[in-house]
Chain A
Amino acid sequence: MNGQKLLAALAGIALALSIGALVLLIEGRSPLDVYAALVALSIGDVDKAAITIKNAVPLILTGLSASLAFASGPINLGQPGQFLMGALAVTLVGITVDLPAPLMIPLLMIAAAAGGALWAGAAAVLRHVFNMSEFIVTLMLNSIADLFTAWLITIGGPLAEAGALSPRSPAITSSGRLGEIGVFNLSILVMALVAVAIWYVFHRTRPGYEWRIAGQNALFARLGGCPVDRNFFIVMLLSGALAGLAGGLLVMSGPYRFIRGIGANYAWDGVMIAVVANSALGATVLYGLFFAALQTGALGMELLTAVPSEFIQVLQAVIVLVSVASRGYLSVLLDRLTLRRLSRPSPNRT
């Protein structure tokens, strides 16, 4: 992130927070109290920060899924569906297989990635064989995954826990659960390793270079001899695997089972984060942490200040709009200033 981008990002966030403050003022609340509560309850102490970072895991992974796809060409908007299929795969394996933890946890992670990759792969196959736009196909597959998983765990459904009063699956085996090291959940470690690996592949290897070129100019990549079709496939699978892993880790570190609405909070957050981060992997991680802090602080904020936690959803959308607009506008503004400076007659020349 160079200086200008950082400036634009900070200006955007500051502007969005001021708009949020204005809304709060109109409603007769104190913006300072609300924002202070948000900060205190998300990163106020180590315990709260640990929860914030744990909550950032699905946001960052779905964000990386979207960023990787957008930066390489495929428009994968299917994170919600791939997330659910990853969570479903972990649940299915977790209730049928029982191995010691050192085997079980990697197995479940592979299952999660495979579940997400399968759902994204379906869209990739439809695109490759029948030339159907992955943009709409992934969106439609989201709704289908949502309804399908809802049916599985509905009371009396094939995957429902016997005797449960709410729609949910049985719990996964205890050896497949991710515990805490100190205050930090193990899923954070997994996410960090995956993020570094993806960054490395994308920025330091030959396939990653080909993906980036294809994302910037598909024709150039094709003419330069990159296997564009194969890369499209690989990126879709990888992107789906990341979203699936997000769903899987959530099951393994949280409710330990598939519950109704498990993906609801993360439905569009991945795409949202990729969009504000302009599909840059490093920025995706930072924004993921930032949005997780907002969401984690929101619940406490509601208790302390009686501002509904839904306020954060509005704030998030405002941040996206304003920071993206200010990024574009700032560069136009800076170009204009540079032009003016250059066009001014220089005193040395006569």
Chain B
Amino acid sequence: MRIVIGLLNGMLAGATPVLLAALGGAFTFYAGVFNIAMEGMLLAGAFCAALGSFFSGSWVIGVLCAIAGALSLSVLFILFAIVLKTDEFVTGIALNLFAAGATTYLLRQLFGVRGAFTDPAIQPMPRLEIPLLAQIPLAGEVLSGQNVMVYGAALAVLVCAWLIFRTPFGLRLRAAGYNAASLESSGVRPARVRIAALLICGVLCGLGGAFLSLGYVRLFAEGMSAGRGWIALAAVILVNGNPWGVALITLVFGLADGLGLLAQGLNVPAQFTGMAPYLATLIALFVYARRKSRARSGSSIQA
């Protein structure tokens, strides 16, 4: 039973940053923006969270700084890809490089360290004890006492699903990606919708980044996003952006993370357990490709 609880906790911790970034990616996916800058946005968020928390001594300020940091990348994306009409793929690649370079440079400039920065003055995000849930035997240990951001991510799924499927904004958002010309003919500028989607993506990636540096650790390390933005992108592509699907698939990736941690306890080298989320992504891609090719061959028989 201990093992299962540990596994579930590891799953939630592993899934949270990917889920938040992937929800952000869902907005840009629906808006028809090929946004591959989530990796850089997570990294910028993680750095700014550690920075804000260190200087203010408050994790709330840290989270706000993380949002501001990731949003600044969104603004750059908007400037280059939407205003100046630079290729979106190129903009994304350049912004990821920019985030990696800028965080490394600032780490050196502001804190005078290379590699990683950790300090007791960095205030981590607290855990949240939920009064009634905590009393449930066993399940209470998973449902209650998680990091604030884990609950934040769960809430974000609900809010995103509502925004995308139940509001006029969501309708315009989906129209911007599905058929921008008809959206434009109804008097809404697709570019504005895309800008809004990128800003929302920045906010969500900022939250995900803050979880990386202030969640279970209190440090910032170079390249600490470690491909999570890419895994988030894969998740978005796999479920065509649907927030419920995103939640489900990132939990699967989180489970792989948790299994990795578990295997580490069984003396499997850390390098192999570290491969778990990437292998899980490959397997998910494989399953998706199989399903799609079967669907295609099915329809061709009908036709």
Contacts and interface: CB of A to CB of B under 8 A. Distances in A.
Contacts of B100: 268, 313, 317
A130 B296 CA distance: 13
Given A147-B275, A275-B93, A314-B102, 15 more contacts: A130-B286, A132-B282, A132-B286, A140-B227, A140-B281, A143-B226, A143-B227, A144-B275, A154-B271, A271-B93, A272-B93, A317-B100, A321-B76, A321-B94, A325-B86
B152 interface: no
B109 A154 contact: no
Interface string B226-237: 110010011001
Contact of B230 (A139, A311, A316): A139
A310 B105 CA distance: 5
B146 interface: no
B105 A275 contact: no
Q: Which of B90, B100, B107, B293 has the largest number of chain A CB atoms within 10 A?
A: B90
A143 B275 contact: yes
B90 A316 contact: no
23 contacts: A132-B285, A136-B237, A139-B230, A140-B230, A140-B279, A147-B272, A150-B271, A151-B271, A151-B272, A154-B271, A271-B93, A272-B93, A308-B105, A310-B104, A311-B105, A313-B97, A313-B101, A314-B98, A314-B101, A320-B98, A321-B86, A321-B98, A324-B86
A314 B105 contact: yes
Interface in A332-347: 332
A133 B285 contact: yes
Given A133-B285, A147-B275, A325-B86, A139 B227 contact: yes
B246 interface: no
Interface residues of B, number: 43
A34 to B, nearest CB: 13
A318 interface: yes
Is chain B's binding surface mostly helix, strand, loop or mixed? helix
Contacts of A316: 97, 101
Given A310-B105, A321-B91, A147 B292 contact: no
Kindly name the residue among A130, A272, A310 whose own CB sees the greatest number of chain B CB atoms within 10 A: A310
B126 interface: no
B87 interface: yes
Interface in B286-300: 286, 289-290, 292-293
Contact of B97 (A133, A151, A272, A308): A272
B245 interface: no
A350 interface: no
Interface of B: 76, 80, 84-87, 90-91, 93-98, 100-102, 104-105, 107-109, 226-227, 230, 233-234, 237, 269, 271-272, 274-275, 278-279, 281-282, 285-286, 289-290, 292-293
A329 interface: yes
Nearest to A320: B94
A310 B293 CA distance: 46
B96 to A, nearest CB: 7
User: What 6 pairs across the A-B complex have the smallest Cβ distances?
Assistant: A313-B101, A151-B271, A317-B98, A310-B105, A317-B97, A320-B94
Contact of A324 (B94, B107, B286, B293): B94
A137 interface: yes
B84 A329 contact: yes
Contacts of B108: 308, 310
A303 to B, nearest CB: 15
B105 A325 contact: no
Contacts of A271: 93
B223 to A, nearest CB: 9
Given A131-B289, A147-B274, A268 B96 contact: yes
Given A308-B108, A318-B98, A151 B269 contact: yes
A148 interface: yes
A207 B208 CA distance: 46
Contact of B87 (A133, A147, A324): A324
